[in-house]
Amino acid sequence: MAVIREKDIIVGEQSLQQWAASARDMISMHADARGGSHFVSPALPRPVWAMSVRYSLYLLQLRAPGPGVEVRVAPWGAVKILDGPASDPHNLTPPDVIELDPDVWLRLACGITQWAEEKQAGHISAIGERDDLSALLPLM
């Protein structure tokens, strides 16, 4: 199943741009706060968050298609990316799984924070050999 419906791609792009602009506004308002980027979480309606996540996962899937790594951003989406072993036929989960909260994922997708920063802060759960998406991010 696709992470976003074709008819929602434009809305998803607009939502991601809105999320990024709101996040950057938050950062500029609190530029003197140390480590503030890790706490950026704009107060936007739930549908904007959902479409931002879905659209950004769609972009990730376009950038690195394949069955080898599953990226999960609950509750709004999951995609399989990168070449590698496909899912186990019994549980449908590939050997490499990365899980992120929506705010963490969107910060990474928008280039607000870096993979290493979020990983070191304990905001990324990654299992498997391919547990670093830094070469694929940011998406915009």
* CA 79 – CA 119 distance, rounded (Å): 20
What confidence tier does 90 reach under pLDDT thresholds 50, 70, 90? low
Distance of alpha carbon 125 from the chain centroid? 12
Report which of residues 87 and 43 the model is more confident about: 43
Taking the model in full, what pTM does it have? 0.90
- As a whole-number percent, the residues of the chain with pLDDT over 90 amount to 71
Residue 50 lies in a domain: yes
Q: What is the pLDDT of residues 5-60, one digit of tens each?
A: 999 999 999 999 999 999 999 888 765 554 567 678 899 999 999 999 999 999 99
Residue 1 lies in a domain: no
Residue 42 lies in a domain: yes
* CA 71 – CA 81 distance, rounded (Å): 8
Structure letter (DSSP) for residue 99: E
Listed in sequence order, the residues at least 6 apart from 23 whose beta carbon sits closer than 8 Å to its beta carbon are: 40, 42, 106, 107, 110, 112
Give the residue from 104, 125, 89, 115 showing the smallest Cα distance to 49. Answer: 104
How many structural domains comprise the chain? 1
**Domain assignment of residue 21, given as a range:** 6-136
Structure letter (DSSP) for residue 76: T
The CATH number assigned to the domain holding 105 equals 3.30.1050.40
